[in-house]
Chains A and B, each alone.
Chain A
């Protein structure tokens, strides 16, 4: 009986260690950087340095993208667009204009050529009107 005692305790400690192993791993693991909960109090970091899709895609589909952005950001509050390359952008006309306003005729040239008259600039302030 007395010879069995250490074996029992060894077994018990082994079981205890095994059951606590996962928690030890967790406490030793590197903490994920304290990401702030994104809520309305904190502005979302926006990287507007890259275009959201290829030139060809945007030429054909920019109106669909803008429609979708408008509906989801205005009505559902889903303001963040995740581009295929992982960068996050704010769904806003200003995101597009952030890069493209260096060409003041960016929208107008093409629309004039194609004879389409979108109503965006009835309210939104275009690069033509801003200084």
Chain B
């Protein structure tokens, strides 16, 4: 009788050990017999894993300072035609009622209504511009950036009509003649294509922050992954009252403002 119980005990404990090892190899990757090499999977981007976003603390922004605009437009060879009608812009400054036309305008303090605010492409999660593009020249990338494939753009300007933020500009003329100090590392555009901010996707692949974020002397802009709950930008959005441009349209902009 004693023997019988001992045998059962040993049998059960042996099975228990095996089960524990199995569970451990599943739970702790270090214990598993066959390793998965993660970098091999990471080479190609995973769609939807990252969503780049920006937070602009307008309280810190100096009135009249145009460092970020100058740097962005230099790095990306944005032409300057000196003509409002043919203006090409990736990032610009505008008044409160133009940047936030649907926010409350009544009895707004002189200080807030009188300032100028930075505006750029919002890289919306529900981007209307990518929906209307007939050639899919503009599309939402795997990392939330609304990108332009200038190779495909036919210049129909549907996207310009669809964008509620005026973030897109059309090249009415050959832009090359209007670039004073071209940067060799980045291409220009040609006549007849629409262009806009690319959230510095060219710099992100090199591990650099966007040009405007880096150029700002007051560190007004915070750039980061909105899908990462531990990122600086998410912490700042959670701890401050923020605003988006025309949120009622449901475009879910990735650019946030602290007023």
Contact = CB atoms under 8 A, between A and B. Distances in A.
A38 B40 CA distance: 9
A123 B139 contact: no
Interface in B194-228: 204-207
A74 B151 contact: yes
A103 interface: no
B143 A40 contact: yes
Given A19-B21, A125-B188, A37 B38 contact: yes
Contacts of B151: 70, 74
B50 A40 contact: yes
Interface string B241-255: 000000000000000
A122 B155 CA distance: 15
Nearest to A79: B205
A86 interface: no
Contact of B149 (A26, A39, A74, A119): A74
Contact of B44 (A76, A124, A131): A76
Contacts of B35: 32
A100 B205 CA distance: 23
A130 B150 contact: no
Contact of A74 (B10, B43, B45, B147): B147
A77 interface: yes
Interface string A95-131: 0000000000000000000000001001111000011
B187 A123 contact: yes
Contacts of B149: 74-75
Contacts of A130: 184
Given A26-B31, A76-B142, 10 more contacts: A26-B30, A26-B33, A37-B39, A38-B39, A41-B207, A43-B207, A70-B151, A74-B149, A75-B149, A78-B44
21 contacts: A12-B10, A22-B33, A23-B21, A26-B33, A32-B35, A37-B39, A38-B42, A38-B43, A40-B205, A44-B205, A74-B151, A75-B149, A77-B44, A77-B45, A77-B143, A78-B45, A94-B185, A119-B190, A123-B189, A125-B188, A131-B184
Q: How large is the interface on B (under 10, 10 to 19, 20 to 34, 35 or more residues)?
A: 35 or more
Interface of B: 10, 14, 17-18, 21, 30-31, 33, 35, 37-39, 42-45, 50, 139, 141-143, 147, 149-151, 182, 184-185, 187-190, 204-207
A35 B184 CA distance: 32
Nearest to A36: B39
A43 B31 CA distance: 31
Contacts of B44: 76-78
A63 B197 CA distance: 28
A15 interface: yes
A11 B50 CA distance: 53
Contact of B184 (A79, A119, A125): A125
B42 A15 contact: no
Instruction: Output the residue of A19, A36, A74 with the most chain B CB within 10 A.
Output: A74
B42 A123 contact: no
B146 to A, nearest CB: 13
A124 B147 contact: no
B206 A43 contact: yes
Given A77-B141, A78-B44, A125-B188, A42 B207 contact: yes
